[in-house]
A and B are shown apart, each in its own frame.
Chain A
Amino acid sequence: MSERIPVTVIGGYLGAGKTTLVNHLLRHAGGRRIAVLVNDFGALPIDADLVEAQDGSTISIAGGCVCCSFGSDLIAALRALAQRAPAPEHLLIEASGVALPGAIASSVSLLTRYACEGIFVLADAETVRARAADRYLGDTIERQLRDASVILLGKPDLVGPAERADTRRWLEGYASVVEVERGRVPAELVFGAAAGGAAGSGFARTPFVHPAYDSVSFQSLPPLDAQALAASLAAPAAGVLRAKGRLRGDDGAWTTLQVVGTRFETSPAAAGASDAGLVCIGLAGCLDRGAIERAIAGSTSSAALSR
């Protein structure tokens, strides 16, 4: 079987920096073939003009219903994209400002060719709290934040330290928060670290280094239960923002593990010559290596048997 195309949904209200983030990720794609869908949902796709598309891989899509026009472009666009040769290595879906990114992720899950790896919701440090209190938009903003695997807090430098801390605390009630300036998140946070290398090239060859983040990587892992491991890594205590792994089960079958914030996903992977491995990324000082090691130990087959 062909491996599933990983998908990241990028949500957040207008002006929160979704397009800036998409452009940043495209510029730092590290040679990956990235496709971008701009989910328009009937809105003005102002963003679509700004996305610096790579060779026409940006598609604007719109939702709809029979009272306006029949059907949804999202599913049609996803189908068309999967037909492309070569298939994209990663798909970014930029949700419209009023879309619920969780609903988009649910729809992506209907197509077995895709695996939704995470929902990044951007929040503008200057405006997010006012928007969340807006009489018209408040519940939409809250639903977007609730859908997030990770919240990216933009323009943190534009508010005072007390307000910044306060907003952070409030957002942490919804998901893990990462501060980001002008969309400059490490691409590994979205795509996963170094797991996109050529098949058989080994795992985590290029270590992920970033001053604001810590990472740990493991190689030559024994057979283990990927689902159980993913669940433990997604628990807040481990401090994992992003984990990506290629793991082997007891039966010899290979699995890809994806964790983004509290969201996790495992899917069957093609067998390869490469080793079983795992890379976890978290904020500097928050990533708990001990907790991750315990999670691995607790997910090995022998641990499962003794449970």
Chain B
Amino acid sequence: MHTIYCARRILTMNPSRPEATHVAVKDGRVLGAGALEELAGWGKHELDERFADKVLMPGLVEGHSHAMEGTFWRYVYTGFFDRMDPDGRTWPGAKSVDAVIARLREASDALKDPAAPLSGWGLDPIYFGSRRVSREDLDRVSRERPVGVLHASGHILNVNTKALELAGLLRKAVNHPGIPLGADGLPTGELKGPDPMMMASPHVGFDREVLAADELGLRYFGKLCVRKGVTTAADLANLLPQEAVAMMLRVTGESDFPARIVSLLRLQLLSGQALIDRALELRPQSTERLRLGIVKLVADGSIQGFSARLRWPGYYNGAPNGLWYVPPETLREAYRLALARGVQIHTHTNGDEATELVLDCIEEALQAHPVRDHRFTLQHCQLADAAQFRRMKALGMCVNLFPNHHFYWGDQHYAMTVGPERAERMNACATALATGVPFAIHSDAPVTPLGPLFTAWCAVNRRTASGRTLGAAERIDVATALRTITLGAAYTLKLDSEVGSIECGKRADFAVLEDDPLEIAPEKLKDVRIWGTVQGGRLFPAGHS
């Protein structure tokens, strides 16, 4: 006995049969997609018409996010843009410092313990002009309790006077490039970079272990996936100690956990040998909803944080070049061992110099171990130029680009970080497509909100927050964008034989949509309404509160 769902339209992503009206599901897998008469041939079935007016797509695949997005929602959202929480409530953007303060104060007043810390996240003061948020601003929230607000970029933390005091930083002569001082000689409360942030973060409730995505965070993340039509999501950098693996196995194994999590092992405190050993030890622990065994490396920092490595002529505003996060020797060793032992590696490169170095290192490793279909993937790879895409193609690599950046920071990239020409080539989806490099697009949630249809909108429109079209020549069409957020991302995770299209034998993973993404105007793609998902044949209505 199987179920046949009828739908207004089914976009299958199966090139042999791109569209269908019905899909038959058995044991969590697709028995077939086609017309009802065709599917009836499989025998006794039950016709389910609940999706009769809906559009089905393959469950969306987020190729680069962090389960930490789920964790952040226990803190107060203070971002500039509207954002939906795991329960479906949309938090309106806080459009001024006063609005940020008001929202934090409301949360502060609701806390019973006067000494309990208050934590906010998602702050993006670049939209408030040159006005910086100061400790005096946050003192208006509370003088008694420590208050800390993490910026959207994740690289800056604003704290109030109480938090500075607890951090031991309410003193004169603090001398650190990441801690600006006010006219009174005391820190302003802005803490930039990991070390200054870490001075205060434990006092304002940002515990590092909690942020690494705990059980509650993972559950929240699953709920967000449902709301965004996502059935498979990569958790791109996890240290994956065995306790965390055990927790993730347990939570994702629960019968109502709605997503398949692909958790990548982040290089840390391991030798190249130990890293690959660990990846191979993790791989067989994979289950249907937790996939393990891929490795993540980080070559450089971020462009908006000026820590990405750029080639000549460097940053547009003259900032010094960024930082290497690992020595080239380390990259070379890891690639060589991974190729020799069949482990896939995804590497974070933001600046084009980091991309160049990684291409060099992979080329060298491939000469020693000419492995086919390694699918080594560059993550972000925002500044790559056409020549670098040609090298990726020649080396058999994939790329996962970050078009959400155009919307959130495109104006800053144009005016400040890389300047007009390179800002227009950032996240060059059209070049990747034309060159034949298999590619995905991503949100890097929580850096930007999880939502592949929004990411697709960014790649299709390349619109910045101020309304500029940033690099019209690198836009891709809607059909391509939809394929990219399904099969494209699945391919980079080596899951394209299981998910990413609706066809016989694949997982019954669907994004259930109220609107047809191919019919809605391309500039409205982000507004496509999502009913929820079907994951492994299980129904997950998002519900709306």
* A206, CB-defined interface residue at 8 Å: no
| Option from B195, B268, B324 in Cβ contact (under 8 Å) with A72 | B195
Which residues of the other chain, B, contact A273 by a CB distance below 8 angstroms?
A: none
Report chain B residues within 8 Å CB of A276.
Answer: none
Kindly list chain A residues whose C-beta atoms are within 8 Å of the C-beta of B329: 14, 97
Question: With a CB–CB cut-off of 8 A, which chain B residues contact A85?
Answer: none
B268 close to A62 (CB less than 8 A):
yes
CA distance A108 to B38 in the complex (A): 70
A45 touches B (CB below 8 Å): yes
Closest residue of chain B to A111 (Cβ to Cβ) is B168
Nearest-CB residue, chain A, relative to B211: A70
Assuming the A-B contacts A42-B298, A64-B194, A97-B327, are A48 and B269 also in contact, with contact meaning beta carbons closer than 8 angstroms in the complex? yes
Chain B residues contacting A69 (CB-CB under 8 Å) are: 208, 211-212, 237, 239, 266, 268
A65 within 8 A of B: yes
Give A40 to B305 CA distance when docked, in angstroms: 21
Interface of B is mostly: loop
Chain B 299-325: CB-based contact to A (< 8 A → 1; otherwise 0): 001100100010000000000110111
The CA-CA distance from A214 to B268 in the complex, in Å, is 43
Contact partner of A76 (CB less than 8 A), chosen from B198, B357, B444, is B198
Q: How far is the CB of B167 from the nearest CB of chain A, in Å?
A: 9
Chain A 38-51 interface mask (CB, 8 Å, partner B; 1/0): 00111111101100
**A213: shortest Cβ distance to chain B, in Å?**
31
Q: Which of B169-177, B225-233, B279-287, B472-480 contacts A (4 or more CB under 8 A)?
A: B169-177
Q: In this assembly, does B447 line the interface, its C-beta being within 8 Å of a C-beta of chain A? A: yes
Are A44's CB and B198's CB within 8 A? no
Complex Cα spacing A142 to B97, Å: 41
Interface residue A220 (Cβ < 8 Å from any Cβ of B): no
Q: Per-residue CB proximity of B377-415 to A under 8 Å, as 1/0?
A: 000000000000000000000000000000000000000
Contact A71 B198 (CB under 8 A): yes
Nearest A residue (CB) for B314 = A139
Question: A71 and B267: CB pair below 8 A?
Answer: no
Check A68/B197 contact, CB under 8 A, given A44-B271, A106-B175, A139-B321.
Answer: no
Q: Look across to chain A and name the residue whose beta carbon is closest to the beta carbon of B168.
A: A112
Chain A residues whose CB sits within 8 angstroms of the CB of B126 once the complex forms: none
CB of A136 within 8 A of CB of B175, answer no
A68 CA to B296 CA, complexed, in Å? 10
B204 to A: closest C-beta gap in Å: 12
Is there a chain B Cβ closer than 8 Å to A240's Cβ?
no
**A253 to B298 Cα, complex, angstroms:** 49
Binary contact track B243-280/A, C-beta < 8 Å → 1, others 0 = 00000000000000000000000111111100100000
**Partner among A44, A49, A63 whose Cβ is within 8 Å of the Cβ of B267:** A44
Tell me whether A67 and B271 are in contact (CB under 8 A): no
CA distance A109 to B177 in the complex (A): 11
Residue of A49, A67, A106, A140 ringed by the most chain B CB atoms within 10 A? A67
List residues of chain A with CB within 8 A of the CB of B95: none
User: Is A137 part of the contact surface with B, judged by Cβ < 8 Å?
Assistant: yes
**Residues in A neighbouring B328, C-beta threshold 8 A:** 136-137
Pairwise interchain contact B444-A67, C-beta atoms closer than 8 A = yes
**B447 near A71 (CB under 8 angstroms)?**
no
The digit string for A119-146, where 1 denotes a CB below 8 A from any CB of B, is: 0000000000000000011011000000
Query: A72 to B194, Cβ gap below 8 A?
Result: yes
A14 B327 Cβ-Cβ under 8 A: yes
Cβ of A75 within 8 Å of any chain B Cβ, yes or no, is: yes
- Whether the Cβ atoms of A45 and B212 lie closer than 8 Å is no
Q: For A291, what are the chain B residues with a Cβ–Cβ distance below 8 Å?
A: none
Interface centre among A64, A65, A112, A140 (most CB of B within 10 A): A65
The answer to the question of B125 belonging to the interface, with a C-beta cut-off of 8 Å to chain A, is no
Q: A68-B298, A136-B328 are in contact. Are A110 and B196 (CB under 8 A)?
A: yes
Given contacts A66-B154, A136-B353, is CB(A96)–CB(B195) below 8 Å? Answer: no
Which B residues are in CB contact (< 8 Å) with A269? none
Does B155 belong to the interface (CB within 8 Å)?
yes
Question: CA separation between A241 and B196, bound complex, in Å?
Answer: 31
Question: Which residue of chain A has its CB nearest to the CB of B326?
Answer: A43
Assembled-state Cα–Cα distance A14/B446 (Å): 34
Taken together as a complex, chains A and B put the C-alpha atoms of A64 and B208 apart, in Å, by 11
- Any chain A CB within 8 A of the CB of B333? yes
Whether the pair A110, B169 counts as a contact (CB closer than 8 A) is yes
A203 at the interface (CB under 8 A from B): no
- Tell whether A13 pairs with B327 under 8 Å between CB atoms, given A71-B194, A139-B321: yes
* CB interface residues, A 179-200, toward B, < 8 Å: none
For A61, give the chain B residue with the smallest CB separation: B269
Closest 8 CB pairs of A and B: A66-B154, A72-B194, A107-B195, A75-B198, A98-B324, A70-B211, A97-B327, A71-B198
Besides A49-B271, A62-B268, A76-B198, 9 other A-B contacts (C-beta < 8 A): A40-B269, A65-B305, A68-B237, A69-B266, A71-B194, A71-B206, A74-B195, A111-B168, A136-B357
Residues of chain B having any CB pair with chain A under 8 Å: 66, 68, 150, 153-155, 168-169, 171, 174-179, 194-199, 201, 206, 208, 211-212, 237, 239, 266-272, 275, 296, 298, 301-302, 305, 309, 320-321, 323-330, 333-334, 348, 353, 356-357, 444, 446-447
Measuring CB to CB, which residues of chain A are less than 8 angstroms from any residue of chain B? 13-14, 40-46, 48-49, 60, 62-72, 74-76, 96-98, 100, 103, 106-107, 109-112, 136-137, 139-140
